[in-house]
Structures are given as C-alpha cells and as structure tokens.
Amino acid sequence: MHPILGQPRRLVPYLLGWIPLAGMLVYLLAVPGGLTWTEAIALGVPLCLLYAFMCLSAWYSCRGTSLEHTGALQLALTHLLAAAIVSGFWILCAKALAHLLSKFPAFQGLDPRLSKNLPLLFGTGILLYLLAVAFFYVLLAAQQSQEAKEREMKAGVLARDAELRALKAQVNPHFLFNSLNSISALTSSDPAKAREMCVLLGDFLRRTLGLGEKAAIPLEEELSLIRSFLAVEKVRFGARIQMQENIDKDALDVFVPPLLLQPLVENAVVHGISNLVEGGWIKLDISSQDGSLSIAVENSFDPDSPPRPRGGVGLANVRQRLATRHGNLASFEVKAEGDRYRVAITMPAEREARAS
C-alpha cells in the first residue's frame, strides 16, 4: 500500500513539506528566469502542487528496486529514466498552463518567455524527483525496521508464552491436591507411609523445579523424573498402575527437552488408569538408532469413560515444543485404538546439550 496515498492523514504534512520547494521554484522562475513575480507565482505554485502528486509515483519504483538487491548502475538508470519521463511530462504541463494563462491580458506573452526557461524547469524537475526517490527510500527503511521490530516482539511473546505454558504444565495442581489428600489419609492409618509419601512428593517437586531453565536434559534424568512421579501416583492408586519399561540403553544419554515425557505419562494416569476400575497399564518404549530417537508411550483406557477436562493441553504443549525445537525433523503421533492409547515421538538424537 502507498505510504502517503494509502493514509490520507499523512498527505497534509507531505504537501506542507513542498511549500519551501514551491518558494524555490517561484524564485527560480522570477530571478534567473526573468519572469515577473506575479507570473512566477501564478505558474510556480500550481506546477509545484501538481509535481508534488507526480512525485508520489517514485514510491513504486523505489519499492520495485530495493537498495540491497539492485546494482548501482541499474538503480541509477531506473531512477534517472523515471525522472526524465516524469519531468518531461511536467514541463509539457507547464507549457500548457503558460499557454492558458497567456490568454489573460495580465499574462500576455508568457508562453514564449517560459519556453526559454524549459531546460531550467526540466533540470529542476529531475532534481526534485530524485529528492522524492531519496525520501521514499528513507521511508521504506523506516517501515522495514518497524516491521522487523514487530516480528521480533511477536517471536519474543511466543517464546515466553511457550515457556509459561511449559512451567504451568510442570506441576498439575490437582496432582498436588490429590497427593496431599492421600497423605492426609495416611497420617492416622499409616504414619510411616505418610512420611514416605511426603518424601516422594518432595523428591518429585524438587526435580521439576530446576528444570524450567534448562533447554535439554539427558533422557535418563527425564526417566527418573517419571519414576518419581509414578512412585507418588502408586501410593494413590495402589495396584491399579502397572508400569512396563522397555528402554534401549543407548538412548539414556540422548538429550531431550525437559518434561517432554512426564506430561505424556501423567496423561496416561489421568485419562487412562484413573478411569479404569480394575486399573490399567502404561508401556514406555524407547529406542535409538541411526541418529534418531523413538519414544512410544502406550496405555490402556476405557473408551466409555466420562470425558475429563484438561484433555489435550499436555499433548499440545509437547507437540509444540518438539516443533519449535526440531521443526520437520520431529514427528508426533497420537492414536487411540480400541482400549489402547498410544503417543509416538521420533526426533533427532542429540548427544550434546545445546541451547534451543
């Protein structure tokens, strides 16, 4: 969109900017040009107003030939040619105006006297046009830097957003409340077990606290986080949780974003196990080969169970974090088949920590 024609409130300051130029043109026509002051004003002011609009066309040629991507010669040729055409058209208009004015008795003989000045007018036209070109390049640069700033800000907001969501996802408050309720039950019936549960819960919370700042942790660390999460949940659900692990030793030192798998296991408990009267199983398969890491979290669930809130939030978070970190190199698949639910992830196996 044209920066001045597209926004009418910019047109006024633009035209005001042309007032000194109009003054200059009048002076040129009167002093070196030998016209009377009345004639110079009658010609110069309308011509200048006309040229102010004609120079707006410089924007299109400026936008078409960006300073970074165009050679100096092409740049000079393009703008000089455009200047010559616009200025040529302008002096034709000047001639027509002079012809019109010479019909009035006050301006008799203006036409031939202007004709002497046409080369001067043509040169001025070219200079003014080039001035407009410079002006639009400055405007373009300002616009681009503004856009860049906005993009940067947007990216920053997105990154902070993701971080916040990741932090929120860390500890599900209901997990905490339910665990505290279990401890409350155990304090009278089995104080030793209550203390054990406090220790387990403390252990899990301490592990999650430090993780927010890290971009990646070894898989082994994530697995021990999951185990300490499940240790707490096993006190709550007792024999209802069956955990099977099938983990490739090679994969243990691969780096993964922290809390990548814990939300998946938590989902398996919240949406799977806790809806099954007789309990259910969670299966964790991890293997690493040819520089890629494959992870599958599978669990049993009751397809007829009432839907629970918070579904999908954890999954969306994991998917998004994988995408931000690895783009197309990572895949994330969710499949519900009969009474089993499976989330499969493949991603590049990074052996060294790197900033995301």
Partner 1 sequence: MTQPAEKKIRAVIVDDEELARQVLREFVTAHPEIEIAAECANGFEAVKSVTELKPDLVFLDVQMPKLDGFEVLELIGTGAAVVFVTAHDNYAIRAFEVHAVDYLLKPFGADRFEAALARAKARLAGAIPGPASLNAPPAPSPAELAAAARPPAQYLDRIPVRDGTRVFIIPVAKLDYAEAQDDYVALCSEGKKHLKQQTISSLEAALDPSRFLRVHRSFIVNLERVVRIEPYGKDSHVAVLPNGTQLPVSRAGYARLREFLDR
Q: Can residue 276 be called a binding residue for partner 1 (CB under 8 A)?
A: yes
| Distance of alpha carbon 67 from alpha carbon 57, whole angstroms | 17
Query: What do you get for the CA distance between the two ends of the chain, in Å?
Result: 37
The number of residues that bind partner 1 (CB under 8 A) is 27
| Distance of alpha carbon 102 from alpha carbon 6, whole angstroms | 37
Stretch that binds partner 1, among 23-31, 106-114, 221-229, 302-310 (CB under 8 A): 302-310
Q: Tell me 107's DSSP state.
A: G
**Would you say 74 or 184 has its CB closer to partner 1?**
184
Cβ at position 265, least distance to partner 1 in Å: 18
For residue 204, how many other CB atoms are within 10 A of its CB? 24
Site for partner 1 in 147-176 (CB under 8 A): 174
Stretch that binds partner 1, among 57-65, 92-100, 229-237, 256-264 (CB under 8 A): 229-237
**Would you say 8 or 306 has its CB closer to partner 1?**
306
Q: Can residue 206 be called a binding residue for partner 1 (CB under 8 A)?
A: no
Quote the distance between the C-alpha of residue 83 and its chain's center: 38
**Would you say 51 or 301 has its CB closer to partner 1?**
301
On whether the CB atoms of residues 323 and 260 are closer than 8 A, the answer is no
Q: Can residue 180 be called a binding residue for partner 1 (CB under 8 A)?
A: yes
* Contact flags string 82-121 toward partner 1, x per CB under 8 A: ----------------------------------------
Q: Can residue 16 be called a binding residue for partner 1 (CB under 8 A)?
A: no
The percent of the chain in helix, strand and coil, each rounded to the nearest 5, is 70, 15, 20
CA atoms within 13 A on the CB side of 311: 7
Q: Which residues of 133-152 are buried (b: 16+ CB within 10 A; e: fewer)?
A: bebbbeebeeeeeeeeeeee
Tell me the β-bridge partners of 256. Answer: 217
Q: Can residue 306 be called a binding residue for partner 1 (CB under 8 A)?
A: yes
Q: Can residue 184 be called a binding residue for partner 1 (CB under 8 A)?
A: yes
Q: From start to end of 225-330, where are the E strands?
A: 241-247, 255-256, 280-289, 292-300
In 3D space, the residue among 264, 276, 199, 207 whose CA is nearest the CA of residue 237 turns out to be: 276
Amino acid at 164: L
Q: Which of 177, 199, 250, 353 binds partner 1 (CB under 8 A)?
A: 177
Amino acid at 129: Y
Stretch that binds partner 1, among 22-30, 82-90, 138-146, 180-188 (CB under 8 A): 180-188
Q: Can residue 185 be called a binding residue for partner 1 (CB under 8 A)?
A: yes
Q: Which of 170, 275, 287, 324 binds partner 1 (CB under 8 A)?
A: 275
Q: Can residue 235 be called a binding residue for partner 1 (CB under 8 A)?
A: yes
Q: Can residue 331 be called a binding residue for partner 1 (CB under 8 A)?
A: no
Q: Which of 102, 182, 228, 299 binds partner 1 (CB under 8 A)?
A: 182
Q: Can residue 181 be called a binding residue for partner 1 (CB under 8 A)?
A: yes
How far is it between the farthest Cα atoms of the chain? 117
**Would you say 60 or 177 has its CB closer to partner 1?**
177
State phi, psi for 281 to the nearest 5 degrees: -125, 155
Q: Can residue 302 be called a binding residue for partner 1 (CB under 8 A)?
A: yes
Contacts with partner 1 by CB under 8 A lie at 174, 177-178, 180-186, 188-189, 235-238, 274-277, 302, 304-309
